[in-house]
Amino acid sequence: MSRQLPHDKNNGPGNAPRSGGSSQRRGQKRRRKPQVGGPAPDEASLLSVRSSLDDAEYIVFDIETTGGNPEKNGITEIFAVKYKNGEPGETFYSLVNPQIPIPPIVRRMTGINNQTVRDAPLIAQVMPGFIEYAGNGILVSHNTIGDMKFLRYFAKAVCDVEMGNFFLCTHLLVEKLAKEAPDKSLRGLAEHFQLDSGDLHRAEADAYVTLDLFKVLKAKLLERNIVLVEEAIRLQGDLDSGVRLGWGVPPECLENVPQQPGVFQMLDLEKKVLFASSSYHLDREIRKIRLFDQLPRGLLRVALKSYDIVYDPQPTFFAAMLAEAQLLEKQKLAFDPYSWHQRLMFGIMFYKDIEGYRMFVGNFEPGVTIAVGPVRDRRQASEYVEAVAAVFRKEVTKAGVILSPEEFALVKTSLTGDLKQVIDTEKRKRKSLKLWFSPSTRKVLDTQIDLMEGLEKVPHLLRAELMLNKTGVLAVGEGKNRGNWTLFPIEKGRPLEPFAIKGDLDAKLREPKQLANLKERLSSARIGDTVQQGESHKINAALWMIYNGRSESRFFPLPELEKEKVEFNSPPPRGP
């Protein structure tokens, strides 16, 4: 195992023939897009990963190094043993002269010192033999990604060969198959699974413990009905191997994708939903998902573990958003769809608890009572919260700032009302003759006015309103046919059971019977002020559509509908 000092990975000594190798060095710098460094697999490598776990040939190995960076460090020892048909086979072993001094910490951990490797062959003499020995076998080690950096680097540097072997990492597999293990180091896992650990920190001992550990993990893979090497590689979840393998979703799932709004779900081998997202156009969305080099790393990992896609077409985009919301209320996904499509409403939220009102910048969550927004610039909104906290001499934590009921009332007026008018009223009250005879009351009033004047100096957010007060009807047209409308009554930001109408929307909404029907639906909902468990995603969908909706949707507030003459000529809001 390559060692990234001072982290202890557990390595050790060994013995066998030689061979050649290959590899492409992984990028050392952090890149904006998820670039990975494995070479494109050849047919022989792909053939090896399509083998069953029982039939594949494995090269279980360990290396000792002078440090963690192959460009500045070298290999000091390498051992490997072939494992096929349940039996260990031919081995490979060599000490290696790294041509640089071995650090004291490595000497203490491995017992390999400068004298030990003084007469050992150089890596240029050892690497060709290891590459030939490994062939197209599946490489197996503990913390393999670090080991592969060295093997690929030196295969390319001294042999000009791209080492294209796929690998299985026992550490990554343990994270998926034995999360309960308290210590994921090789020694810790040997104790957890009661394996004979021997003299760890030398290549041979570590490789044989890794082999015993791999046998345990292979049995666990088979228990989960993971029978192919490719499936095990996808389960371990490293981006390098996943991108080289390509998408595991069968081609037929990517053909004839619905060209309409809907929700798609990406499933793993065990039919567990890994990711789901609403989309305005399912076909285009899947084409975007297939551009691996443009996906966020978290979504890329999920995509590479996917084996199936299920489509749920919907008549409108808003219906798709509500279907997504319903799914999100039921289960937690491996990747948050809001991080992908960015359709998340933010506001200055107030959460009432026993301490008062917690004020923070965020999105809808159970317990939120007041939501002021929409917030377009989260940094600006956070600065507003900090400025408000400074006025009241409060501390802002990650959870926000706690305000008393009186402070909350002032902030709410500052955000949504005419604070100047309130200040003027209080100042007139202060001039009242009777206050001259009540110094204590006058002092309280002076403090109150000072706080309000402090709030008045805080830069206000643009277009701020009480979002959870939104009540009316959201009209959504079906596709290009604007004669068919689905009406969603919105009560305090919550979408209620929809109903359909046909014909001219403006005229239909003016009909007394239609208006009475709408008001009846709204009044019978009996919705409280606090966001309850299971409704935050629906609220987000409804308010996102109201504030950012596309041209086929229009929102009509109830007060506007109740006017004798309603003007419906204002343009609908447009999304970014």
- Domain edges within the chain: 43-232, 249-332, 347-466, 470-561
Mean pLDDT along residues 32-42:
60
Evaluated on CA atoms 253, 254, 255, 257, the torsion sign reads positive
Of these ranges, 101-105, 406-410, 411-415, 554-558, the one predicted with the greatest mean pLDDT is 101-105
The predicted pLDDT at position 200 comes to 67
CA 312 to chain centre: 23
Which of the residue ranges 24-28, 274-278, 547-551 would you say has the lowest mean pLDDT? 24-28
Identify the CA nearest to 489 among candidates 452, 534, 530, 527: 527
How confident is residue 508, by pLDDT bands cut at 50, 70 and 90? confident
| Beta strands across the sheet bearing 167-169 | 87-95, 75-84, 58-65, 138-141, 167-169
Biggest CA pair distance of the chain: 104
pLDDT of residue 283: 97
pLDDT for res 92:
98
**For the residues 171-180, what does the mean pLDDT come to?**
96
Q: Mean of the pLDDT values across residues 422-448? A: 70
Q: Cα separation of 525 and 533, whole Å? A: 16
What architecture (CATH level 2) is domain 43-232?
Answer: 2-Layer Sandwich (3.30)
Q: Across residues 184-212, what is the average pLDDT?
A: 90
pLDDT in tens, 345-400: 999 999 988 889 999 999 999 999 999 999 988 998 999 899 889 888 899 999 99
Rounded mean pLDDT, 170-187: 95
Please give the Cα distance from 184 to 175 (Å, whole number).
8
CATH architecture classification, 249-332: 3-Layer(aba) Sandwich (3.40)
Kindly report the number of other CB atoms within 10 A of residue 180's CB atom.
7
Predicted confidence band of residue 569 (pLDDT cuts 50, 70, 90): very low
Other CB atoms within a 10 A radius of the CB of residue 467 amount to 25
Can you give the pLDDT at residue 201? 75
What is the pLDDT, as a whole number, of residue 32? 40
**Average pLDDT value over all residues in the chain:** 86
Q: What is the mean pLDDT of residues 165-192?
A: 95
pLDDT of residue 83: 98
Pull the structure tokens for residue 62: 């360990």
Can you give the pLDDT at residue 461?
Answer: 63
| DSSP-derived pairing of the beta strands 138-141 and 58-65 | parallel
pLDDT tens column, 263-298: 999 999 889 999 999 999 999 999 999 999 899 999
* For residues 415-444, average pLDDT: 71
| SS3 state of residue 557 | strand
Percent helix / strand / coil, the chain, rounded to 5: 40, 20, 40
Alpha carbon 297 to its chain centroid, in Å, reads 8
* Residue 435: band (very low, low, confident or very high) from pLDDT cuts 50, 70, 90: low
| CA angle (35, 38, 41) in 5-degree steps | 125
pLDDT over 60 at 223, yes or no: yes
Portion of the chain with pLDDT greater than 90, in percent? 62
User: What's the token pair of residue 36?
Assistant: 């990975």
| Residue 195 C-alpha from the chain's centroid | 36
* Confidence category of residue 27, pLDDT binned at 50, 70, 90: very low
